[in-house]
A and B are shown apart, each in its own frame.
Chain A
Amino acid sequence: MALKFEVLGKFNRARAAQLTLPHFICQTPLFMPVGTQGTIKGLTNIQLEEIGCQLILGNTYHLALRPGAELIDELGGLHKFMNWKRALLTDSGGFQMVSLLHLADITEQGVTFQSPVDGKPMLLTPEESIQIQNKIGADIIMALDDVVKTTITGPRIEEAMYRTLRWIDRCISEFIWNCARRIRSCFTRYMCQRFGGPRFTRKANLTSYWDSYAIGGLVGGEDKDSFWRVVAQCTASLPEDKPRYVMGVGYPLDIVVCSALGADMYDCVYPTRTARFGTALVPEGILKLKNRAMANDERPIDLTCSCMVCKNYTRAYLHGLVTKDAMGSQLLSYHNLSYMMRLSKNLHTSIVEGRFPEFVRGFLQTQFPRGDVPEWVCNAMEVAGVDISSCCTPLASWHD
């Protein structure tokens, strides 16, 4: 195995672990910034290392399009190409196909789509997805799955589930027979649909070959109540000794809840994207720097944050930069990713040091000082066995 996963501490379902990868030894729970085209928008690699970034996600679809998998391979792989010394993960390319392209047709063979370059029909097969990812050379690669919208119901879900299983087998074969020269870890995307979770587990014949599991197909419009239940179902069914990656998550609150339920890894464009719209992540929630109230506020974004931005800049100055100058996006992206790295580290350390419930309570009390913790969070924490009753005001008093 090229991936080693060692649990260092637990609280009920929540785990803190050490994830050893070819390029870096990571601590989980961890958040992965998304480096879509081989770079995180607005930050240099040195800055990413400074804020404690361990693992970056690269989008196979975008990279295969431009600059192309062959070129990346010729130049020694994505690590060398982007000069990133730590760990990399690539997705299978399937999600972008379905979400970005107008004419994506899924058959047993693979995903047929219209090339955005010249409009010609193209086909992405499970085998090809593995080949492309192998050329890119990330520490962790993903198997291609039959992606469906979370809001879909009916027989399509079952069709997607079984097809994904067949595709996973094809990915594994391709990986073993043709990618042996590169040591890599293979995730399989473990699609959790509302009705498909438990059945998937049984049928999936969870072999010990797979290094880890990704919980995908979420954060596509489903309500929060369904979201946490699906994550809870999946983490309950998956093996304890392998990492669980919830794709596309996300908001700090969601990460805390999923970690309590037993997930280990996350990725999302949210922190950097929201930075470009002038929104900073703070312990209280968010801070909209575009607001007129910020124009003369001489405090840093977050008094508890020690990142380069909070140590040097006032809200008043940033108010003038955001959405008007590229530097505003850069500085805010830097702060937001620092915040996410700090959150990851706090989750890991609090579990290892045996104070995870206290950390969760502190987090919720800061975000919901009036005690109005959302019901879905309360329900999820009950299942996770984390007592947050001190954070929640009784329902009756909300209406006072």
Chain B
Amino acid sequence: MRFVAAKACAGSRARAGALYIGGNSAAPIETPSLMISTLKGLPAFISRDHLGDLPAPDSHLLHVSPIHFLDCPATKTICTIGGLHQMVGLHDHFFIASPRDSLESLPESDGTNKLGASFETPSGRQLVKPSAYMEMITSLMPNLWASMADEVPAWVSDKRNKTSVDRTLRWLDECINLDLEGGKNVLGFVVGGSSIEERKRCATEVAARNVSGFWIGGFGLGESIEERPALLHAVTDSLPEEKLRLVSGLSLPGVDIIQPFLSTEIAA
């Protein structure tokens, strides 16, 4: 993977870029770009033989949530099959993994504790520890993956918000340590809720680690639309220019890849 950030648009934070995902696509994906959400690695309703009808390579960016595979198949089976790309028959596609999605893996901050992050899934509430998460990442082998995070709603206390940042940073280090490739494809997760200071703190700390890019999360959880620009800017101003930035659930200038939460719901 290679990301090239072009010059920012004058008078604005917006920037264009090119993401080279390798494989059969020589042409890069132009950013800002959207990820297509998936259920167990496959886009909803569009089977692999029809994916080719979508524009390439732009439609090759897929989001995957490892949480979808908590029940099955077993990580050992996924390994023997040969990883996510082989398992879902999409060898030319570029998978970016993060735990949260809008349908089947919703962060449940009440259930999150020092041991792991909690998610509401179709099979109930699940607590996921960094070790289990990294076991799934190792077996799935996505092209890029976000570290684990404690995403909290906008209305939590300052103390809880600060704890979420501390945990997220600790889990980033744990995930990198557990990664067999030493964090080569990791996207450092940035949280901080509705606090400008915490956002800055988290972003600065994550930027200090050797990561491939950044996953900017903790949005779409109760903060007002008016708050978002300032919070996002607090993050992006603390991040190196040349690295990839992803955001989940919203779209604002200064980010490169967006995880949309509504496309499948609208289509369905």
Q: Is B157 an interface residue (CB 8 A)?
A: no
Instruction: Report whether A326 and B44 are in contact in the complex, using a CB–CB cutoff of 8 Å.
Output: yes
What interface size band does chain A fall in? 20 to 34
Please name all residues of chain A whose beta carbon is closer than 8 Å to the beta carbon of B88 when the two chains form the complex.
312-313, 317
**Cross-chain contact of A320 among B40, B44, B76, B80 (Cβ < 8 A):** B40
- Of the four ranges (under 10, 10 to 19, 20 to 34, 35 or more), the interface on chain B belongs to 20 to 34
Nearest CB in chain B to that of A297: its residue = B77
**How distant is B95 from chain A, measured CB to nearest CB, in Å?**
15
Q: Taking the complex as formed, is B39 at the interface, i.e. its CB lies under 8 A from any CB of chain A?
A: yes
Q: Does residue B55 face the partner (Cβ distance < 8 Å to A)?
A: no
Q: Does any Cβ of A come within 8 Å of B128's Cβ?
A: no
A83 within 8 Å of B (CB atoms): no
Residues of A within 8 A of B49 (CB): 46-47, 50, 308
In the complex, identify which listed stretch (A54-62, A64-72, A195-203, A327-335) lies at the interface while the others stay far away. Answer: A327-335
Q: Give the docked Cα–Cα distance between A296 and B40 (Å).
A: 16
List residues 68-113 of chain B with CB under 8 A from any CB of chain A.
69, 71-74, 76-77, 80-81, 87-89
The distance from the CB of B68 to the nearest CB of chain A, in whole angstroms, is 8
Contact A316/B48 with A295-B72, A325-B39, A327-B39 known, Cβ cut-off 8 Å:
no
CA distance A151 to B37 in the complex (A): 51
Among A47, A50, A298, the residue within 8 A (CB) of B80 is A298
- B155 at the A/B interface (Cβ < 8 Å)? no
- A319–B44 Cα distance when bound, in Å, is 17
Provide the residues of chain A in CB contact with B89, threshold 8 Å: 311-313
Docked complex: A300-341 residues within 8 A CB-CB of B: 308, 311-314, 316-317, 319-321, 324-327, 330-331, 334
- For A47, the chain B residues whose CB sits under 8 A away are 47, 49
B45 to chain A: closest residue by CB = A326
User: Which B residues touch A330, using CB under 8 A?
Assistant: 45, 47
Asked whether B122 is an interface residue with its Cβ less than 8 Å from the other chain, the reply is yes
A328–B130 CA distance with the chains assembled, in angstroms: 29
Max chain B Cβ within 10 angstroms of own Cβ: one of A44, A298, A314, A334: A314
- By the criterion CB–CB under 8 Å, are A296 and B73 in contact? yes
Alpha-carbon gap, A312 to B69, bound state (A): 18
A316-B73, A319-B72, A327-B45 given; A298·B81 CB < 8 A: yes
> Within 8 Å CB of B141, what residues of A?
none
Chain A residues whose CB sits within 8 angstroms of the CB of B42 once the complex forms: 325, 327
User: When the two chains form their complex, are residues B45 and A321 in contact, meaning their CB atoms are under 8 A apart?
Assistant: no
Q: What sequence of 0s and 1s flags, for each residue 45-79 of chain B, a beta carbon within 8 Å of any chain A beta carbon?
A: 10111100000000000000000010111101100
A319 B73 Cβ-Cβ under 8 A? yes
Q: Bound complex: CA of A142 vs CA of B74, how far in Å?
A: 51
What separation, in Å, do the CA atoms of A47 and B47 have in the docked complex?
10
Residues of the A chain whose Cβ atoms lie less than 8 Å from the Cβ of B77: 295-296, 298, 316
Please give the residue numbers on chain A whose beta carbons come within 8 Å of chain B beta carbons, in ascending order: 44, 46-47, 50, 295-296, 298, 308, 311-314, 316-317, 319-321, 324-327, 330-331, 334
Extra inter-chain contacts (6) besides given A296-B73, A316-B72, A320-B40, CB under 8 Å: A46-B49, A314-B81, A317-B73, A320-B73, A326-B45, A327-B44
